[in-house]
Amino acid sequence: MSNYKWENYNIKNMKLAKKFISLNKKNKFNFIEKGLYNHVRDILCLSLLINKKKKLNVLDYGSNILSLININKKIDINLFNFFIYDPFLKEKKNIKHPFKISILNKKKDLQKKHFDVVNFGSSIQYIKNLKDIEETINFLKVSSVVITHTPLTLKKEFITKQTNHKQLSQKIYNYYNIINFFKKKKFKLIFKSRNKNKYVASLKNKSSTFSLNLVFNK
Please, which pLDDT band fits residue 12 given cuts at 50, 70 and 90?
A: confident
Domain encompassing residue 134:
6-217
The pLDDT assigned to 207 comes to 84
Return the pLDDT at 90: 62
User: Is there a domain that residue 203 lies in?
Assistant: yes
* 186 vs 69: CA distance, rounded Å: 31
Residues 133 and 1: their CA atoms lie apart, in Å, by 15
User: What DSSP string runs through 27-46?
Assistant: -SS----STTHHHHHHHHHH
Is 119 contained in some domain?
yes
Taking residues 204-209, what's their average pLDDT? Answer: 84
Q: What is the pLDDT of residue 11?
A: 75
pLDDT at 18: 85
For 96-127, how does the pLDDT look when each residue is reduced to its tens digit (9 = 90+)?
A: 667 888 989 888 989 889 999 999 999 999 99
CATH number at residue 95: 3.40.50.150
Q: What is the pLDDT of residue 45?
A: 96
pLDDT of residue 96: 66
- pTM of the complete model: 0.92
% of the chain with per-residue pLDDT over 70:
95
Q: Among residues 99, 84, 119, which one has the least CA distance to residue 215?
A: 119
What does the pLDDT average to over 115-142?
A: 94
Closest CA to 170 of 159, 184, 180, 183: 159
**What is the tens place of the pLDDT at every residue in 51-67?**
888 899 999 999 888 88
Q: Which has more confidence, 11 or 57?
A: 57
Q: Is 110 among the domain residues? A: yes
For residue 195, being part of any structural domain is answered with: yes
Q: Bigger pLDDT: 4 or 61?
A: 61
Number of structural domains the chain divides into: 1
Q: Establish if 1 belongs to a structural domain.
A: no
DSSP category for residue 15: H
Q: Which residue has the higher pLDDT, 31 or 151?
A: 151
Question: Of 170, 175, 171, which is closest to residue 193 (Cα–Cα)?
Answer: 175
Could you tell me which residue, 1 or 41, shows the higher pLDDT?
41
Is position 133 within any domain? yes
Instruction: Let me know: does 17 contact 66? Beta carbons within 8 Å.
Output: yes
Q: What is the predicted pLDDT for the residue at 203?
A: 79
pLDDT at residue 168 in the model: 87
In a domain, 70, yes or no: yes
